[in-house]
Amino acid sequence: MANRLVKWVLGGVATLVLAGAAAVVVPTWLTLSGEPVSSVQVADDAQTRYPIVLAHGVMGFGYAGKQSYWHDIPETLRAHGAKVYVTQVSAFNSSDVRGEQLMAQVRQIMLETGAKKVNLIGHSHGSHSVRYVAGTHPEWVASVTTVSGPTMGSEVADWLFELTKTRPWLADTLLGLGNKLGALINWITGADLPIDSAEAMKSLTQSGAAFFNQRFPAGVPEQACGEGAHVVDGVRYYSWSSIGQFYRALNLADYLMSLSGKAFVRETDNDGLVGRCASHLGEVIRDDYPMNHFQAVNQFSGLVGPGADPVGLFVIHAHRLKEAGL
């Protein structure tokens, strides 16, 4: 049994490393980057009052050459009239470190554009980053939107944390690989950001998320699987997420999500990294889109399941923000 577990974990790690590297270095001819994917070009239907700032999750980055973590989402939003800024923080680190890094970039965006506020959208661990900025400087923020955000933590992080106590050598191996992947992302993107997989893991456990929520409670549901306050300190809070792990045989992320999904005990409805109810924050737009965790931001290379339209969801949401005067 132990040998099977080790093989399962190491196989997952190998997939993780391959998938993470593929997200950064996949050739441009295999991607949709550079051209908006929407067939209908409406000049201003996503032209929000305030700029949209995107914050990535773990294993994330801004741009590596022309390749974006967000795979066509910024380009399509811009084609629909939005002003969009793509940020980059540590690929792996604590919620507070990443939040401070994002806050510095938001400050710079506001200085350069003259904007009084921004609309923050965070994917995965990036949801903590945008909440950190809004909780620290609500006067800077018009709205916070989390996409597949671990508001209540990730059972995968809990599983890994348990390994640090029961099989420390295996946990050290996994966390070491995460640090190497973070260093690789730094090298490819030309960044010089601190990498700490152990701190990222602690932030994403159920207890780590609970501690974060105590300090940044805006939008957090008071009841299990409920909605949180829609508006706090003048900031509007939204969230959406998805369920399912395997949709496309050609997408490396689907194999990874199928493996990581095995760690879930509390929520069988999950996207491979975040449980359906654990993702709720503020106004829940929907929590069951047919996508896994990576497909929610059009990864990798736009290979998503039938019926899924992650790019379209961002355009629709920008229109929602526009209609709200944001």
Which positions are catalytic? 124, 271, 293
For residue 22, CA distances in Å to 19, 113, 136, 321 come to: 5, 33, 35, 33
**Alpha helices by DSSP H, the chain:** 2-25, 73-79, 95-113, 126-136, 155-166, 168-189, 197-204, 206-215, 252-260, 310-323
Q: SS3 of 97, please? A: helix
- Whether the CB-CB separation of 68 and 33 falls below 8 Å is answered with yes
What gap in Å lies between CA 324 and CA 150, rounded to an integer?
Answer: 26
Angle at which helices 168-189 and 197-204 pack, to 10 degrees?
Answer: 110
Give the angle subtended at the CA of 236 by the CAs of 82 and 130, to the nearest 5°.
70
CA–CA separation, 178 and 272 (whole Å): 18
Collect all residues with Cβ–Cβ distance below 8 Å to 45 and sequence separation of at least 6.
Answer: 80, 81, 315, 318, 319, 322
List the beta bridge partners of residue 76: none
Instruction: Say how far apart CA 130 and CA 54 lie, in whole Å.
Output: 9
Q: Within 10 A of 234 (CB to CB), how many other CB atoms are there? A: 12
